[in-house]
A and B are shown apart, each in its own frame.
Chain A
Amino acid sequence: MNPNDILAKAETLRNNLSSGFRDEIVKSLYAEAETIAQRAVKTANEKRYDFDQKIDRLVTSPLTGLPIMLLLLAIIIWLTVSGANVASDAIATVLFGFGEWARALFVGWNVPWWITGFIWDGVYLGLAWVVSVMLPPMMIFFPAFTFLEDLGYLPRVAFNMDWMFKKAGAHGKQSLTMAMGFGCNAAGVVATRVIDSPRERLIAILTNNFVPCNGRFPTLIMLATVFVAAGFSPALTSIIASGTVVGIVLIGVAFTFLMSWILSRTVLKGEASAFTLELPPYRRPNVSRILYTSIIDRTIFVLWRAMQTAAPAGAIIWILANVPFGTSNLAAAIAGWLNPFGILLGLDGIILLAYIIAIPANEIVVPTMMMMYMGAGMMVDGPSSSAAIFDLLVNGNGWTMLTAVNLMLFALLHNPCATTIMTIYKETKSYKWATLSVVITLGTAFLVTFLTASVARLLGWA
């Protein structure tokens, strides 16, 4: 019999198959697997099931489920923010100290000032800044998150939250990728691989940026402390500041749902695909695996991508601040041109320029802004006390309450950082989706800040 005859025969036989033959194949595979499993596997008792069931009832019941979820999220974020502060300072001392020392060495060798400045005040400072601000929160957040993942708790969150996502035309597992986004939006985008239907996965990718990441928390915390909490008694300061940040995060979540809803009715129209969610049994977390996944797969992965973009950003910042233009430098000139547009959005030119330069990494927004407000030649930390920052911004540079509020909104809604855009491109293999992710976020940020600024001005608040 020649191959063509066999193919022809197969073709005729195929047409006679009943429609359910695939079901039958899978059924027989499962039956076979079951007989093998019965021979080889012995089940000791059913106790573990009961224990799992008890925990499940607890974490999914209306009374305890939601509070447990919010409490865990709050603990993780609190651990990250407060723990990272200490570590960041330590790393910064070491890295900046080394930079000072190397700089002094260069000066001693009589290297021209612009080479020394470009390398140590530009490229190196940018790298050191991003590493010291980015590394500690990720080293705390990712292991904590991976711990919950390994425990088997995270799918229960997706189970609890699915009803809301269903209304927005999205997948319950998007709640997990959003939670991951608190650590880093690029990691959040990678995490969307757990969503198996392509449409819902794209929704999760495109909206992930509305969750503020570690890199944006410092900006939000600084503004909340200096502007919102300053009016209250010192005892209340930290509570008011955290409350403000939580409020901003909730606004971000609301925008995630709104944008998911809009996307699922326009560009990504279609019915919800199969929602199937496995709820695995609870397991004792495996410490070495947690450390491996969180440090190697997540932290190093994200940090490496961020460093690739932070070094050129450092160089650009230094050039802008040190190339003379007219009576001042290039940075001041560009900020001047951007100023009318910035004012329209309730911001100013320096903020917009800082955000353009900080596309590679949101961590350097505040130091770049401070550099320009203080007229320094390289990125600086800014004044150390809240009152001094308030004085610099309000009395020195014409900020109002509107500027602070709109900057918080802009920090929350603006375009993804370069690392995240790159990751979106790698995950979707499409320039179109990567571009769209920028267009919808930036469009939302412009629209919202423009509206708040206009309303505030019409009502005479600013």
Chain B
Amino acid sequence: MNMTFWLIVLAVILLITFLPRVGLRSQYKSYRAAQEREQVEDALKHLLDREQAGRHASPESLAGILGLSRPRVTGLIEDMETQGLVESRGDQLHLTADGERWALHVVRAHRLWERYLADEARMPLGQIHSEAHRREHNLTDAQLDELDAALGFPTRDPHGDPIPTREGTLPKAEGTPVTAWQADRPARIVHLEDEPALAYEQILAAGIRLGQDIRILERTPQRVVLSDGENEYRLAPAVASNVTVAPIPEHELLKRESVPLTELAHDHRAEIVTLDDAVQGFTRRRFLDLGLTPGTIIYPELQNFFGDPRGYRVRGTLIALRKDQAAQIWVKPV
């Protein structure tokens, strides 16, 4: 009796441990495999990053990025060499063609996820990088294509970085660092470098946003002062070099003569000029569905007793918008 009992216990333990696919052992193995793959993918991304910056990665830089000890990194590099993903020449690491394709795949996954988290899940910009980093691994090309199509084939991530195409071409990042921009020319912010995170936090904390139009007020070795007409932003030059700018597109200059919908007085008619570039994805679709297209006449008709939201008459219907939504619609009083 006792013997039988212990035999059953033993059988159950063996089953739980060694059962194919659901057993503890195979669970642990697939967990390890996923972890190793994540490490390989992070290493590939770092190599691609360095190559694009015209520098070369080394075992030291890799160890620093991945937080691994030297012996572990050496093992990882050997593994990747056997898989034909990297070649080491002396102290320099180079991506092979296969390695580069895979790296671009991961970068594509990362940036598509960032787009999704920012536009559809509406996560705060400061949080999307780490969340996308968690989600970028173990995805097939077909899954990425699906995500790409669902997002409407975006070309840039929320930081302004280009998203690689399915074929693995990476559009060149345009623009000039604000530290090298012609001082008297107005410019639009087209990219905010999100690494190192500390500098990115400072940029966000200063209140600088992607798509903002700015002028350079002051540029000395001690500080860079930018202005968007209302507020002034002060940055250390080292931080400011992570802000990339480009000329303002022609049609966007229209915004100059317009005001946000929130500033329109009660019962004053106006014409919609444009929707702010910061509005993308879900919110933008919703606005367009409701008929808030450029050229439409709109006027505030219904006041809430707490000032927010307000009811606006558009195309014969009454639509209520909260202040932060209305602030993203630019109008010209008529």
A interface residues, Cβ below 8 angstroms from B = 11, 14-15, 19-20, 22-23, 26-27, 30, 53, 56-57, 60-62, 65, 155, 159-160, 162-163, 166, 172, 196-197, 199, 269-281
| B226-248 to A contact mask, C-beta < 8 Å, 1/0 | 00000000000000000000000
Q: Which residues of chain B in 112-142 are interfacial with respect to chain A, using CB atoms and an 8 Å cutoff?
A: 121-124, 127
- List, in ascending order, chain A residues with CB within 8 A of B283's CB: 273-274
| B282-319 to A contact mask, C-beta < 8 Å, 1/0 | 11101111110111100001111110110100010111
CB of A23 within 8 A of CB of B288, answer yes
A102 to chain B, nearest CB (A): 50
Q: Cβ of B173 < 8 Å from any Cβ of A?
A: no
CB of A163 within 8 A of CB of B286, answer no
Q: A26-B288, A163-B304, A269-B123 are in contact. Are A275 and B309 (CB under 8 A)?
A: yes
CB of B311 within 8 A of CB of A279, answer yes
CB of B309 within 8 A of CB of A278, answer no
Question: How long is the Cα–Cα vector from A160 to B152 in the complex, in angstroms?
Answer: 35
CB of B305 within 8 A of CB of A62, answer yes
Nearest-neighbor residue (CB-CB) of A66 within chain B: B305
CB of A274 within 8 A of CB of B325, answer yes
CB of A26 within 8 A of CB of B293, answer yes
Given contacts A197-B282, A275-B320, list 11 more A-B pairs with CB under 8 A: A19-B277, A20-B274, A26-B293, A155-B320, A160-B304, A196-B286, A272-B324, A275-B309, A276-B325, A278-B317, A279-B320
CB of B275 within 8 A of CB of A159, answer no
Q: Cβ of B18 < 8 Å from any Cβ of A?
A: no
Q: Cβ of B217 < 8 Å from any Cβ of A?
A: no
Nearest-neighbor residue (CB-CB) of A11 within chain B: B165
Nearest-neighbor residue (CB-CB) of A171 within chain B: B322
CB of A270 within 8 A of CB of B121, answer yes
CB of B319 within 8 A of CB of A162, answer no
CB of A172 within 8 A of CB of B152, answer no
CB of A277 within 8 A of CB of B319, answer yes
B interface residues, Cβ below 8 angstroms from A = 121-124, 127, 152-153, 155, 165, 171, 251, 274-275, 277, 282-284, 286-291, 293-296, 301-306, 308-309, 311, 315, 317-322, 324-325
A6 to chain B, nearest CB (A): 16
Nearest-neighbor residue (CB-CB) of B311 within chain A: A279
Our pick among B287, B291, B294 for the contact of A274 (Cβ within 8 Å) is: B287
- List, in ascending order, chain B residues with CB within 8 A of A273's CB: 122, 282-283
Our pick among A23, A27, A162, A271 for the contact of B304 (Cβ within 8 Å) is: A162
Question: How long is the Cα–Cα vector from A218 to B230 in the complex, in angstroms?
Answer: 59
CB of A27 within 8 A of CB of B293, answer yes
CB of A278 within 8 A of CB of B319, answer yes
20 A/B residue pairs, CB under 8 Å, sorted by A: A15-B171, A22-B152, A30-B296, A60-B304, A62-B305, A159-B311, A162-B304, A163-B304, A163-B308, A166-B322, A273-B283, A275-B321, A275-B322, A275-B325, A276-B287, A276-B321, A276-B325, A278-B290, A280-B317, A281-B318
CB of B122 within 8 A of CB of A271, answer yes
CB of B319 within 8 A of CB of A279, answer yes
Interface centre among A56, A60, A166, A275 (most CB of B within 10 A): A275
Question: How long is the Cα–Cα vector from A254 to B318 in the complex, in angstroms?
Answer: 30
Q: Which 6 A-B pairs have the closest CB atoms?
A: A62-B305, A274-B283, A279-B318, A277-B320, A27-B293, A163-B306
- List, in ascending order, chain B residues with CB within 8 A of A61's CB: 305
- List, in ascending order, chain A residues with CB within 8 A of B294's CB: 23, 27
Question: How long is the Cα–Cα vector from A56 to B282 in the complex, in angstroms?
Answer: 29
Nearest-neighbor residue (CB-CB) of B321 within chain A: A276
CB of B322 within 8 A of CB of A159, answer no
- List, in ascending order, chain A residues with CB within 8 A of B295's CB: 27
B101 to chain A, nearest CB (A): 18
- List, in ascending order, chain A residues with CB within 8 A of B322's CB: 162, 166, 272, 275
CB of B302 within 8 A of CB of A56, answer yes
Question: How long is the Cα–Cα vector from A145 to B216 in the complex, in angstroms?
Answer: 58
B180 to chain A, nearest CB (A): 25
CB of A23 within 8 A of CB of B309, answer no
Question: How long is the Cα–Cα vector from A270 to B118 in the complex, in angstroms?
Answer: 10
- List, in ascending order, chain B residues with CB within 8 A of A270's CB: 121-124
Nearest-neighbor residue (CB-CB) of A273 within chain B: B122
Question: How long is the Cα–Cα vector from A57 to B301 in the complex, in angstroms?
Answer: 10
Question: How long is the Cα–Cα vector from A62 to B275 in the complex, in angstroms?
Answer: 32
- List, in ascending order, chain B residues with CB within 8 A of A278's CB: 290, 317-320
Question: How long is the Cα–Cα vector from A153 to B250 in the complex, in angstroms?
Answer: 45
Question: How long is the Cα–Cα vector from A199 to B123 in the complex, in angstroms?
Answer: 11
CB of A172 within 8 A of CB of B309, answer yes
B303 to chain A, nearest CB (A): 8
Nearest-neighbor residue (CB-CB) of A56 within chain B: B302
Question: How long is the Cα–Cα vector from A231 to B238 in the complex, in angstroms?
Answer: 75
Question: How long is the Cα–Cα vector from A163 to B310 in the complex, in angstroms?
Answer: 11
Question: How long is the Cα–Cα vector from A22 to B281 in the complex, in angstroms?
Answer: 11
Question: How long is the Cα–Cα vector from A221 to B280 in the complex, in angstroms?
Answer: 50
- List, in ascending order, chain A residues with CB within 8 A of B122's CB: 197, 199, 270-273
CB of A14 within 8 A of CB of B305, answer no
A453 to chain B, nearest CB (A): 38
CB of B124 within 8 A of CB of A276, answer no
A50 to chain B, nearest CB (A): 11
Question: How long is the Cα–Cα vector from A196 to B283 in the complex, in angstroms?
Answer: 11
Interface centre among B153, B289, B290, B293 (most CB of A within 10 A): B293
Question: How long is the Cα–Cα vector from A166 to B291 in the complex, in angstroms?
Answer: 24
